[in-house]
Amino acid sequence: MKQNLVFLTGAGVSAESGIRTFRDADGLWEQYPVMDVCSATGFARNPALIHKFYNERRKQLLQVSPNDAHRAIAELEKHFNVMVVTQNVDNLHEMAGTPAEHIIHLHGELMKVRSLADESKIFELSESNLETSPETRIEGHPVRPHIVFFEEAVPMIEPAAEVVAHADILVIIGTSLAVYPAAGLMHYARPGTPIYYIDPNPASVNTNIKIIAEPATMGMKTLTNILLK
């Protein structure tokens, strides 16, 4: 019987694909004040700016591909019941081969928008139709990025906590462990659950956590050797 292997992934897992993170020295926060482009207040104040910002992020996404870390996670589906809980809004885990039903996007999905009038109406954008604006209508609905902004609740946090609670092995990869509530998910793991933390600059964590101080691609090679030995 396969063990439940749960990954908590952050920006570092996609950084090696060329997706710029917010927190790096040359990250997106250097270009944009975060509360202007990633907050509910910012959207209410200047929706056109936020539509423009996410249009740019989608164009960037089309220029990158999954890296060896994404592919290694997908490859482990052969040996484990894999679930990925990601803070990332890109679709690189899906592109690498992890089934969409095995992925929980905590902070939303870049290639989707949703209705401002009915949040249950979610629409997937295509590569040929990436751009939206305050004037965009899909099936008659004005739309916004399908992103969890700062100042908004994280609707998928409870399903994610449930997944972590059933993990036989938990892997944290490419995250600063600075963004809550996502950073608190590891605490839902059952006592005694093996926890691995892959990051070249790991945050200070409990000594029971096994640290692999490597970038995501190298760290996943190390982890795979450990798990499959």
Q: 8 and 163 in contact (C-beta within 8 Å)?
A: no
Token readout for 89 is 């809004």
Tokens of 2: 């396969």
Question: Distances from the Cα of 137 to the Cαs of 46, 57, 120, 123, 168, in angstroms?
Answer: 18, 20, 15, 11, 45
Among the listed residues 51, 93, 107, 146, the single catalytic one is 107
Q: Token digits for 47?
A: 């929706």
- Rounded distance between C-alpha atoms, residue 189 and residue 27, angstroms: 31
Q: Are 104 and 83 in contact (CB under 8 A)?
A: yes
**Whether the Cβ atoms of residue 213 and residue 199 lie closer than 8 Å to each other:** yes
b/e per residue 15-41 (b: at least 16 CB within 10 A): bbbebebbeeeeebeeebeeeebbbee
Is 107 considered catalytic here? yes
- Within 8 A by CB and 6+ apart from 165, the residues are 188, 189, 190
By annotation, the residues acting in catalysis are: 107
